[in-house]
Structure 1
Amino acid sequence: MATPPSKAGTKGVPREHRARQMLDAATEEFGTRGYAAASLPAIAARVGVTKTLLHQYFGTKEDLYTACLVPVGDRLLEAVRAAMGPDGTTPQTPLRVLDAIFTALEGRRESWFVLYDTTLPPGGEAARTAAGYRSAIDRLAAAGTAELLRGAGSADPLDADALLYVWRDLVATLVRWWVKHPEETPEAMTRRCARLFAAAAALAPEGGR
């Protein structure tokens, strides 16, 4: 849903509040359009300020993107860590992780695409920051998928690598579907995923082979 233009650029608005409005508008613009297509004038217009003022607060387009990216990355990384817990994984860990991701994104679902944006300029600060967050999340996912496979009796590292690839794509696909269905709450999405996992398990041949 587009953010309507506000009066954030008028006198008397506290600097911290105005900066937050700019970041919220920029996160929505970058998340829905991607870095390459996002427009600084459009972000400024969402908030009711000038492009010059946006530059004064956050610098370049890439600086602004990074300022949006860090809170998104922190929130998602902490959500996954908390969902996995200190005691390793259990058969319910994938659902807990998905629920944590949906909960962390609720109210700003498009922010997922700020972290996973393929149009970021390679080699820049934004790309390096995003890669750092994605690598940290991948390490958690790799540990979790490997542990689940060990619990299922598989120690094959290629199984673990394949499952990690499947998990990444599964999460991204579910989030994309969720963005298209704003009526779905995080709780409803988690229940839906539980049903989908149960259906997928029923398709497996007996004995897991």
Structure 2
Amino acid sequence: MVAVAHARPNAGTKGVPRLERETQILRVATEEFGSAGFAGTNIQAVADRAGISKPLIYNYFGSKECLYAACLDHAGTVLGGEIERIARGDAVGLERGLRTLAGMFTILEPQPYLWRLLHDPTAPTTGAVAETVADHTDRIAALAHEGVTELLGLSGNTDPLDISAMTATWLGIVDSLMGWWVDHPGESADAMLDRCVRLVRALFSDAARGQLA
């Protein structure tokens, strides 16, 4: 994880403990960045929503980039933690994949801005932001590789290149599904999971397999 620069460890306002104030700032900033993007977010707007001064945010986080990195770290930890929780469960193969999607839908339904935050084209591509993105991307990719290795192993396929190709495919599918979902806010988490189950059944139906015969 990327360390965020803090100025005075005992800083606080109106008797609010530092940790509580920092959590409040992160909550507001995460929603702002996730809704307006890095380029479209003004730190003064974050300060106004949090009911504090703009200098206090810089006192806590040092810069807009470091605040954004902290928000990314929060979003990545929330999503990565859910994916890891499912990975450590008893689901295998396609069931593990569907449970992973279900967990992500559930986490993101009340806060879709977390996904937009993690896929913001206006975000910096160097420094603390890039390091934070890389940390969480690598973690999620490792979990995907583990799941795909297990899935292909069930059919006796242990070819490293097949595993690599399928891992990339799975990550692309997840990115596409989540991107489609945030563009269709009327779709509930349950509706999205039902849709994924239908799509999987269609892909593995006798009719679909017949095309490969």
Amino acid at match of 2:119: Y
Distance 1:26 1:52 in 2: 15
Q: Report percent identity of matched pairs.
A: 41
Residue 64 (structure 1) shift: 0.8
Deviates more, 1:134-143 or 1:119-128: 119-128
Contact 1:84 1:96 in 2 (8 A): no
1:89 maps onto 2:82 in alignment: no
Counterpart of 2:7 in structure 1 is none
1:126 maps onto 2:120 in alignment: no
Counterpart of 1:76 in structure 2 is 79
Counterpart of 1:206 in structure 2 is 210
**Where has structure 1 moved over 4 Å in runs of 4 or more?**
10-18
Counterpart of 1:3 in structure 2 is none
Q: C-alpha offsets along residues 122-179 of structure 1, whole Å, 9 cap, x if unaligned?
A: 3311211221111011011011112212223433333222222221121112212222
Counterpart of 2:35 in structure 1 is 32
Counterpart of 2:162 in structure 1 is 159
- Structure 1: runs of 5 or more not aligned: 1-9
Amino acid at match of 2:87: M
Deviates more, 1:138-147 or 1:152-161: 152-161
Amino acid at match of 1:125: A
Deviates more, 1:110-119 or 1:77-86: 110-119
Amino acid at match of 2:209: P
Contact 1:77 1:133 in 2 (8 A): yes
TM-score (normalised: structure 2)? 0.79
Contact 2:202 2:208 in 1 (8 A): no
Deviates more, 1:87-96 or 1:61-70: 87-96
- Structure 2: runs of 5 or more not aligned: 1-12
1:31-180 correspondence runs (5 A)? 31-85=34-88, 89-180=92-183
Counterpart of 1:191 in structure 2 is 194
Q: CA RMSD in A?
A: 2.6
Contact 1:69 1:130 in 2 (8 A): yes
Amino acid at match of 1:184: E
TM-score (normalised: structure 1)? 0.81
Distance 1:94 1:180 in 2: 22
Equivalenced residue count is 200
Residue 93 (structure 1) shift: 0.8
Residue 88 (structure 1) shift: 7.0
Contact 1:80 1:101 in 2 (8 A): yes
Residue 16 (structure 1) shift: 4.8
